[in-house]
Each structure stands twice: as structure tokens, then as C-alpha cells.
Amino acid sequence: MTTSKMYLNINRTFRNIFGQKTKQNFGKYNIVKPGKVSTQMTVPDHIPKPSYYLTGEPTELISCEEIKNTEQISKMRDSCQLAARILNEVEGYIQVGKTTDEIDKLVFSSCVENNAYPSPLNYKHFPKSVCTSVNNVACHGIPDDRPLQDGDIVNVDITIFYNGYHGDCSRTFMMGNVDEEGKNLVKATEICLHAGIRACKPGEFFRTIGTVIEETAHSLGYRVVPAFLGHGIGHYFHGPPDIFHFRNNYPGRMEAGMTFTVEPVLTQGKETIEILEDDWTAVTVDNSRTAQFEHTVLITNDGVEILTV
């Protein structure tokens, strides 16, 4: 689940153009209209919970990048591997006709069965256990009763809190007969993710990740949505460093023992997004599609390890 920098070019409006076929040169797909959101679920008492589960506000104060010790890294591995397994469960379940609310229920149940807490649930008052972002929804889509349609592309963003640590990953799935424009966008986004991860190693600047991702995106004909960042992660959901996915001047270098997410969002059109009245759902201003992929990574003594596999 991304962090967002609200000082970037984000407008808070509610657009009245949803539900139509796009008329621009972005391919053939449905522009998504938010649906009905079901009642928020309650995690059983026996499940260990993060600091924000009641108030919606995290209490951890993380002022600098954390260098994790062997025990912390082991717990991060466990949490990240469980997050990846749950995302694989979603891959086996998701299909045309399923609603994103049904996906949310699957994720919630899988977390509870594994004694884990679904990290998005009530994080800054997010009402669901997973983010599901379809077509023109760039990020932080709230699961609802809209059935997935043939040709949709949908990002499912899983974060879990397990044994005191968060693990975070996401993937964009293609539903049925996706057009070539959509397929190419999804492929390009995954390529950009792995290009950014390959840039990671001890001593490298954090900002190198963004430079590599943006250059790769541009070479493939796409833009990076700048509003959404990767982030440090551990016993806290979001913390330093900020991982920008575009050229930037963020200070600092990677060190062995750091864990953070890399999670670029690419768009076919303009980089600008709008936040809907639910205070979460981010949509593209020109209704272009976006795609996102995400891994949590660990900086090792000689390179980088993807934890969410």
C-alpha cells in the first residue's frame, strides 16, 4: 500500500464522467464508477493488532531509516512470505464476475486463518482489508459491489501484519480479453518494478530507484504517477525512506538491513490524479488506465533480496 504526497498535483473533486467507454486513444475498457461498499469487518480478539486498529492513527514515530537485526529480518521474511501467499490465493480466485468486495472477504478470511491482521483495515480510517484499483483508478480503490468485467485490469494490494511486522505486495491482474494497450501497460509496469529493484544495493542512493524507473517507463511509452511512493516498512506500516519512482533529489543511501517497498504506478496518459469524496480513491484526470506492481525488498550485504515471493 503506497504512501501519497498530497502536495503533488492532486485535486479533490468528484467527477461526473464515470461509467462510459473511453473515447481517447487509450484502448477499449470501461471507466470505473465507485459502487456500494459493504459494512466494515471486525478482526477477532485473538489476532495481534497494529497500533491504529481502534483509532485509525498509527502511533509509531519513525524518524530515520531502520537497520534491522537478524531477528527483525526473520520476522519480516515471515510476514512478507505470508502476504505473497495470500496474493497468490487472490490470483487463483479472481475472475470476471467476481466483485472486489468478494476479493476483500477472501483476503480478510485468509489473514484471520493465518493469525494475521489485514494492515489496510482502519489504517487512517480505510474501511477495507485490501486496496483494489480497476482501470482508471490509480491507487487506493475501496472494494465494492461492482463485478469485474471482461477487459478490466485490476491491481490488488495486499499488506498484512503478522508477528508484529508488516509485509506489503501488489500485482495487476488482467480479466478475460484485455486489449493490447492494456496488456502492454501491465507488462511495462512489471518491467519498471524489476528495473527499480535491480538498482538496489548497499551504498546506492535511494533516488537512483526513481531515475531508473522513470527512464524505463519513458522508454516504453508511459509516465509514472508521481503522487504514490514506496516506503520503509517493519513493525510500522509506513516510515522512512520515501521511495520516489521518478527522478528526484531524495537524500541518503541504502544500507544492509533496510527494508522498503518499490511500487511504481504507470499511466497511459496524464500523471495527474484526483481523490474522490471517499478521501481514498485516486483516479486519473483523463480516465487513462494505470497499472501497479509492488514488492517489499531487503538490502543485503551484497545486493537486494525480494521478500514478497
Angle between helices 70-93 and 100-113 (to 10 degrees): 140
Spatial contact of 280 and 273, defined as CB atoms under 8 Å apart: no
Q: What is the pLDDT of residues 276-290, one digit of tens each?
A: 999 999 999 999 999
Distance of CA 167 to CAs 8, 152, 163, Å? 27, 26, 11
How many residues are recorded in the chain? 309
DSSP 99: B
Residues 20, 287: Cα–Cα separation, whole Å: 10
* CATH fold of 63-306: Creatine Amidinohydrolase (3.90.230)
DSSP 18-44: TTSB--STT-S-BPP---PPPPPP---
Would you list which residues are annotated within the binding site? 140, 157, 168, 231, 238, 263, 294
Q: What is the pLDDT of residues 194-222, one digit of tens each?
A: 999 999 999 999 999 999 999 999 999 99
Q: What is the pLDDT of residues 41-68, one digit of tens each?
A: 999 999 999 999 999 999 998 999 999 9
| pLDDT value, residue 25 | 82
Angle between helices 207-219 and 180-198 (to 10 degrees): 150
112 pLDDT band (50/70/90 cuts)? very high
**Out of 2-11, 107-116, 283-292, 298-307, which region has the weakest mean confidence (pLDDT)?**
2-11
Q: What pTM did the predictor assign? A: 0.93
Residues 158, 167: Cα–Cα separation, whole Å: 8
Would you list which residues are annotated within the binding site for a divalent metal cation? 157, 168, 231, 263, 294
The grid cell for 226 is 508521481
Max Cα separation, the chain?
53
SS3 282: strand
Residues 214, 275: Cα–Cα separation, whole Å: 23
Would you list which residues are annotated within the binding site for substrate? 140, 238
Phi then psi dihedrals of residue 108, to 5 deg: -60, -50
| pLDDT value, residue 4 | 62
Distance of CA 58 to CAs 47, 49, 142, 235, 239, Å? 17, 11, 20, 11, 11
Phi then psi dihedrals of residue 79, to 5 deg: -65, -45
Of 15 and 273, the one with more pLDDT: 273
For residue 182, the tally of other CB atoms under 10 A from its CB is 24
What mean pLDDT do residues 262-277 have?
98
Q: Output helix, strand, coil percentages for the chain, rounded to the nearest 5.
A: 25, 25, 50
